[in-house]
Amino acid sequence: MRCGKKKKGEAPSGFYLDFCLPIHNLFGMSKAVFFLSDAHLGAEEENKEKLKEERLVSLFERVREEGQTLYLVGDLFEFWFEYKNVIPKDHFTILTKLNQLVECGIRINYVVGNHDFWLGDFLPKHIGIPIFKQPVDVIHQGKRIFITHGDGLAKGDLGYKVLKKILRNKVNIFLYRQIPPDLSYPLAKFVAKGSRSQVQKHDTRYLEEYQNFAIAKIKQGFDAVVLAHTHVPVLHDFSEGVYLNLGDWFQHFTYARLWEGKFYLESYA
């Protein structure tokens, strides 16, 4: 649904409803905070990508109606690389929907993941989505929340930590930009697919480490810890705080919602 704002100078005609105004606002209801990660858009065959996109558009509509803030906690795209004048065309629909949410007053924050090394200025400059390369410490609805994608948290993930430094090296980024897009994108998707497979095979070994990390953060004073990366949805409500792992948007289709001070882990599957 398009934002139905009245144009400047346009006279009102009959009943007018601003479609950008969330319906719950019309009745004074509180706004929700949404969390989503690991959609890996562009990673699979066409029919699966279509399903992911349709469900994501549906979720975005719910965010528009009920939400105030949306956190994209990494790996929305399987691969994203910006040239000076080129961005991936496959994600036009999702980028358009994100832009509409921002225009409707939804604050969207992007917390980078292990597939987001090469995000440039397109999202913040042209859509209005700030990018956070470090963990986020934020308060919503009286809850202090720690948010990070979670890649590199496991003690045994040394190989990835080295790869992370290589991929974020400015010289390497410059050199990769010298490859024409029609060659660089298929190559990068092939490498990214291998990275995602490794996560699915190995990071489940580290689930206890992720939980222990969350518990340690809760002991530091956080009311909730939101992680991603493992593709395994988790909601643990401890006596002192909450640990959430957002799962994924290609198998479980899970996301989280904070409403009236309580966290919910929900699914479109």
Q: How confident is residue 195, by pLDDT bands cut at 50, 70 and 90?
A: low
| pLDDT of 15 | 34
| CATH number of the domain to which 109 belongs | 3.60.21.10
Q: Of 164 and 109, which is predicted with more confidence?
A: 109
- Asked if residue 4 belongs to a domain, the reply is no
What's the pLDDT tens digit per position in 77-136?
Answer: 987 777 777 777 788 999 999 999 999 999 999 999 988 877 889 999 999 999 999 999
- Asked if residue 16 belongs to a domain, the reply is no
Cα–Cα distance for residue pair 129/73, rounded to 1 Å: 12
- Asked if residue 209 belongs to a domain, the reply is yes
Burial class (CB in 10 A: 0-12, 13-18, 19+), 56: buried
- Asked if residue 96 belongs to a domain, the reply is yes
- Asked if residue 254 belongs to a domain, the reply is yes
Ranges 19-33, 52-66, 126-140, 250-264: which has the least confidence: 19-33
- Asked if residue 112 belongs to a domain, the reply is yes
Q: How confident is the model over 228-248, as a mean pLDDT?
A: 96
Yes or no: say if 94 and 80 are a contact pair by the CB < 8 Å rule.
Answer: no
What's the pLDDT tens digit per position in 22-42?
Answer: 544 444 457 999 999 999 998
Residue 31 has phi, psi (to 5 degrees) of -100, 150
Q: Of 247 and 22, which is predicted with more confidence?
A: 247
| pLDDT of 28 | 45
- Asked if residue 94 belongs to a domain, the reply is yes
Q: Of 255 and 121, which is predicted with more confidence?
A: 255
pTM of the model: 0.82
Contacts of 65 (CB under 8 A, 6+ apart): 22, 23, 24
Between the alpha carbon of residue 234 and those of residues 6, 34, 45, 141, 224, the distances in Å are 43, 15, 27, 21, 13
- Asked if residue 75 belongs to a domain, the reply is yes
| pLDDT of 7 | 40
DSSP H or E run through 235: strand 233-237
Given a cut of 70, whether residue 143 has pLDDT beyond it is: yes
- What does the block give as tokens for 166? 């290589």
- The whole domain housing 63 covers 23-267
- What does the block give as tokens for 99? 């832009």
- Listed ranges 140-144, 176-180, 188-192; the one with the highest mean pLDDT: 140-144
Q: How confident is residue 69, by pLDDT bands cut at 50, 70 and 90?
A: very high
